[in-house]
């Protein structure tokens, strides 16, 4: 069986995927300001299946501490309200017809520290994902060398390149975390 050639760009793309996923996860963390992305993890039981909030309603930010959710189907208002209450976001929905309003309360110091811990957990998961990509790449290089598809020097040179790419993506992840941590702790 022929082994596919080593592609550093594919490694970069996969590692960048981990950084992008981290940015998305951190975007859903509440920082004391209203952003529609804090509702991204919420799924609503609608029409016999679980659907993301964006597929049943429009979310807008009329004020810095207020989210307005316009539910498209009047029969889904109760389901959307229930999904918000059951999420662990700590938000209390107020229903007015087909519109649900969510006041985003000020975060106290303890809640901010909890959010930072969650951000660190997401960040560690992203680091692990990048390390898994590195491990896969290094295993692939070893396999290519073992099959005499590349020389030992080429394997070492490529492994050094993979490590440089890994270090760069870990630094990117740390930068994303530092930015989010600063945003969360800002009063």
pLDDT category at 39 given cuts 50, 70, 90 is confident
Q: What is the DSSP letter of 70?
A: E
Every domain of the chain with CATH number 1.10.132.20 lies at 8-26+108-185
State the pLDDT at residue 32. Answer: 67
- Whole-number Å distance between alpha carbons of 88 and 174: 26
Residue 2 has pLDDT above 50, yes or no: no
Neighbours of 125 (CB within 10 A): 14
Phi, psi of 65 (to 5 degrees): -115, 25
Residue range 73-88: average pLDDT?
88
Does the CA dihedral 29-31-36-42 come out positive or negative? Answer: positive
For residue range 42-67, what is the model confidence (pLDDT) as tens digits? Answer: 889 988 888 888 889 999 999 888 89
Q: Evaluate whether the domain defined by 8-26+108-185 bears CATH number 3.30.750.24.
A: no
The answer to whether the CB of 51 falls within 8 A of the CB of 44 is: yes
State the pLDDT at residue 1. Answer: 38
**How far is Cα of residue 38 from the mean position of the Cα atoms in its chain?**
11
**What average pLDDT does the structure give for the chain?**
87
Q: What angle do CA 64, 69, 71 make, to 5 degrees?
A: 170
Q: Evaluate whether the domain defined by 33-103 bears CATH number 3.40.50.80.
A: no
pLDDT category at 91 given cuts 50, 70, 90 is confident
7-11, 88-92, 144-148, range with the lowest pLDDT: 88-92
Least Cα distance to 115 among 41, 18, 32, 7 occurs for: 32
Residue range 157-166: average pLDDT?
94
SS3 95: strand
Residue 33 has pLDDT above 80, yes or no: no
Every domain of the chain with CATH number 3.30.1360.40 lies at 33-103
Least Cα distance to 176 among 18, 32, 12 occurs for: 18
Strands 57-63, 49-52: pairing is: unpaired
State the pLDDT at residue 175. Answer: 94
């Amino acid at each position: 069986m022929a082994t596919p050639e080593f592609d550093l760009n594919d490694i970069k793309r996969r590692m960048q995927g981990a950084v992008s996923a981290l940015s998305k996860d951190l975007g859903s963390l509440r920082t004391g300001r209203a952003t529609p992305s804090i509702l991204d993890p919420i799924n609503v039981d609608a029409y016999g299946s679980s659907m993301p909030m964006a597929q049943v309603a429009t979310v807008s930010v009329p004020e810095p501490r207020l989210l307005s959710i316009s539910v498209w189907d009047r029969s889904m208002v109760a389901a959307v309200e229930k999904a918000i209450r059951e999420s662990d976001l700590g938000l209390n929905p107020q229903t007015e017809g087909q519109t649900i309003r969510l006041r985003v309360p000020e975060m106290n110091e303890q809640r901010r520290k909890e959010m930072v811990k969650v951000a660190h957990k997401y960040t560690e998961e992203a680091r692990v994902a990048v390390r898994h990509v590195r491990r896969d790449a290094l295993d692939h290089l070893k396999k290519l060398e073992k099959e005499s598809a590349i020389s030992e020097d080429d394997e070492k040179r490529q492994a050094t390149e993979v490590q440089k790419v890994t270090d760069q993506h870990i630094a990117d992840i740390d930068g994303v975390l530092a930015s989010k941590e600063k945003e969360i702790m800002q009063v």
